Chains A and B, each alone.
Chain A
Amino acid sequence: MSTITVENIAKRFGETQAVKNVSFEVHSGEIFGLLGPNGSGKTTSIRIILDIYQADSGKVSILGGPMTNEKLNHIGYLPEERGLYQDVQLERCLSYFASLKGLSEDQIKERLPRYLEKFDLADHAKKKAKELSKGMQQKGQLIAALIHDPEIIIIDEPFAALDPVNTQLVKKLLIEQRNAGKTIVMSTHQMNQVEQLCDRLVLIDHGRVLLQGKLTEIRERFRTNAMIIDALDPLPEQLDGVARIEKQNGSYCLTPQEGVSAQDLLSALVAQGIKMNTFEVAAPTLDEIFIQVVKEGSDRDE
C-alpha cells in the first residue's frame, strides 16, 4: 500500500524550473531511494511532500490524502541542511523538537533518555550542541527525526559525518524501522548504501524523473552480457566466442560474440584450457547506472 503518492508535481523559482512532472509512489515497509545529482530537484520534491513548499501543479497524497497539521506529526524529517540550537543543551533542544511533533512532556521524559542511550549520547545530554562533535550532533538530529515514532521517515544524507561504527548503527536502525512497517524515503549520494538498503528508487535530474523501479529490476535492466573472469594465467589476445577482452583490476572483462550465451562462453573457455577462479556476470554497479543515466539525460537535453 502506498503511503506517499506524488503525481506530476512541478515547481518553478523565478526562471528556474526546479521540478517538472515528477511522479512516484512510496510503499509502507520499504526503503525508497530518492537519487539525483546536486541541484536535480530532490530537496524541492521532499519539501513539496512535506508541505513546506506548495507545488505549482500536481498532487501529493500522504497517508491516503492531502497533508494536514496532524499528519505532519506522523512524519520524521532529517533535512540536508540540518542543525541544532548551538547555545542550547542537547536534551532541551530535542525535547523542543519532540514537543513540536506532538509528544507530551511525559512521553518525552519516557522516550528521550532511551534514545539518548541508544545513540550513545546519554553522557552528553546536558552539553550544549556547540560542545558536541559533528557526528554526535548528527545522531542528535536523527533522534529528533525518530523520537515521535513516525509512520513516514524522510532522511536526506543520513550517513554524512558518521564514522563506520555509527553508520552501521544507523543502517541497522533503518532496517528495523522498515521491518516494523515504516515508510522510509532516503536521499543520498552514497550509492553503496542505496544498494545495501533500498528496495526501490527514483532517479531525478534537472527536475524530472529519469529512472525508477525496484533496485533488482533496474540492475537487471542495465545488465550487459559481459562476463568477469579471474584467470590464473594471462589470457591470449584472442579467444573463440569472445568479441572483446579488457583487463580490469587484475580480472578480465569478456564481451561475447553476438549469439553467444554465458553458458556457451564458459564451455568455450574450458574447452580452450583457460584456468580460472571465478566466472561471473558483469552486473553494473549503481554508480555506473547513475552516471550512465544522468549522462544520457544530459545528452538528450543537448
Chain B
Amino acid sequence: MRDLLKVFKFEFLTVFRRRSFILSLILVPLIPMLLLSVLNWINRDKSVTFQEAFMQEAGNPLPIGIVDQANVIKEYPEWLTYGKLIPAQSEDEARAKTASGAWQGFYVIEPDYLETGSMRFVKPQISMITELVQPDMLKELLTYNLIGADKERYLRYTNPIDFHYEYINPETADTRDQADDATFWVPYAVTMFFYMIILISSTMMMNVVTKDKENKTIEVLLSSVKPLDLFIGKIMAYGSLSLLQMVLWFGTLALVVKTGKTSLPFLESLAIPKSVFIASVPFFICGFLLYGSLMAGMGAIAPNLREGNQSTFVLTLPLVFTIISIAQLVENPFSSFTTFLTLFPFTSPVVMLTRLSVGPVPAWQLILSIVLLVGMVVFVIRGVTNLFSSQYLLSGQKIKVGLFLKTVFIGHRRA
C-alpha cells in the first residue's frame, strides 16, 4: 500500500509539473474564456445584442432615408430600425442628404407599390454591411406597417406558433423542441467532449507503461514494487490528472455556455442539464478505469509504444462506434438501440451523458447502467492484473491481440 502511494505521488507530480500538461490544462479553457471576455467587453452594455454590436462597432453605417410615395409606412419603431431607417419628406431632400454624406442612400417606395411591390434604392456606392443588413430591416419595417403597425400582431406574425406539448408518458417521450437547433447542439457537444477526453486520458495509460519499458526502468521498479501496486498506483495518478482535466475543461464549456449568451446569441437557448454535471464524474471515472486499464494492459505486453498504438484500435472500437452512431443517438434518444448503448458498459460512459443532455433518463436505466459499468470495470481490472506480471512486463514479444483479449476476459493462465 505504501509503495502504491509512492508510485501514485511520483507519477502524478511528474505529469503535473510537465510544461505541456500545465499548458493544456490552462490554455484549453483560457482561450475560449479570453475570446468570450473580448466579446463581452465589446458588448459591455448588456442591452446591446451581437447584431447591434456588429452594426455599431464593425460597420456603424450611416442611416438610409425612405421616400414613401405609396404612404404605407405609418411608424418607424426604434426596436425595429435602431434609427437606421429615417423618413424623408421628398426625393429632393433625400438626394441632398445623401449628397452631403449624412445618409448613405435612400429607398423610394413607388406610388403603385401595393400593386407592384416596386421600389428603388438610390445610393452612391455599395456597402457590404448595409447590403447584408438593411434590406432585411426594410422588409421587417414594411411587414410591421402592412399588418397595421401593431407590435403584438407583428411578433405573432413572425413567430405564429408556440407549441406546448403534453406527454402521456414523459419518461419515454422525446420532450425536446424539435424546431430549436440547441436541442441537438448540446448532446453533440457532450458526446464529442466525453469521447475525446476518455480516449485521450486512457491512451496516456499505455504511454506511461510502455515508457517504463523504453526507459528500461521497469526492472528496477519490479525489484522494489509488486506489479499490481505499480499498476494501481499509475492508474490512480493518471485517473486523478484526467479527472482534474475533465472537470476544468467541462466546467469551462459550461461557463462559456452560461456567460456567453450576451455576445453569442446562438448560445441563448443552450443549457447543459445539471444531471450531466452530476453524472459526468462517476461515468467519466468508470470510463477512464475501463479503457485506461485495457490500455495499460496493452502497454504491459507491448514491446514499445509504436507497436502498442497499432493494436489499440480494437480496444477503442466501442467508443468509435458511439461517434459513428452519434446522429442516431441524438435524433432517437429513446430507441431500443440507444437504450442498449446506454446500458452496454463499453459505450455507457459516453452515451449515458448524451442521453442526460437530451433529457431525463429513467431511474432504472441509470442504476442498471452504473451497476453494469462498475461490474465491468472490476472484471477488466482483474483481467488486466494477469497481464501486469513480471513475465509480460519484462518480455519484448510481439503483441497478440487474441491472447490479450483471452487473458483479460477469460482469465488465461500466465505463461
Q: Do A and B come from one complex?
A: yes
Stretch at the interface among B212-220, B246-254, B362-370: B212-220
Which of under 10, 10 to 19, 20 to 34, or 35 or more describes the interface residues of B?
20 to 34
A300 within 8 A of B: no
The answer on a CB contact under 8 Å between A75 and B223 is yes
Q: Which of A47, A53, A86, A100 contacts B215 (CB 8 A)?
A: A86
Query: B210 to chain A: closest CB distance in Å?
Result: 13
The answer on a CB contact under 8 Å between B415 and A13 is yes
The residues of A that contact B225 with a CB separation of less than 8 Å are 100
Q: Which of B3, B217, B220 contacts A77 (CB 8 A)?
A: B220
Which of under 10, 10 to 19, 20 to 34, or 35 or more describes the interface residues of A?
20 to 34
The answer on a CB contact under 8 Å between B6 and A100 is yes
B394 within 8 A of A: yes
Query: B216 to chain A: closest CB distance in Å?
Result: 3
Q: Which of A14, A52, A100 contacts B415 (CB 8 A)?
A: A14
A189 within 8 A of B: no
The answer on a CB contact under 8 Å between B6 and A52 is no
Query: A138 to chain B: closest CB distance in Å?
Result: 12
Residues of A within 8 A of B (CB): 13-14, 47, 50, 52-53, 69, 72-73, 75, 77, 79, 81-88, 96-97, 99-101, 141, 144
Interchain CA distance A83-B220 in the complex, whole Å: 8
Most chain B beta carbons < 10 A, residue from A82, A85, A87, A100: A100
The answer on a CB contact under 8 Å between A53 and B390 is yes
Interface string of B1-39 (1 = CB under 8 A from A): 001001100100010001000000000000000000000
Interchain CA distance A53-B218 in the complex, whole Å: 14
Interface string of B204-245 (1 = CB under 8 A from A): 000000000001111111111110000000000000000000
The residues of B that contact A52 with a CB separation of less than 8 Å are 219, 222-223, 390, 394
Interface string of B54-86 (1 = CB under 8 A from A): 000000000000000000000000000000000
The residues of B that contact A87 with a CB separation of less than 8 Å are 14, 18
The residues of B that contact A53 with a CB separation of less than 8 Å are 390-391
The residues of B that contact A47 with a CB separation of less than 8 Å are 390, 394
24 contacts between A and B (CB under 8 A): A14-B415, A47-B394, A50-B223, A53-B391, A69-B3, A72-B223, A77-B219, A77-B220, A77-B223, A79-B219, A79-B220, A81-B218, A82-B220, A83-B216, A83-B217, A83-B220, A85-B215, A85-B217, A96-B10, A99-B6, A100-B7, A100-B225, A101-B224, A141-B220
The answer on a CB contact under 8 Å between A81 and B219 is yes
The residues of B that contact A69 with a CB separation of less than 8 Å are 3, 226
The answer on a CB contact under 8 Å between A82 and B221 is no
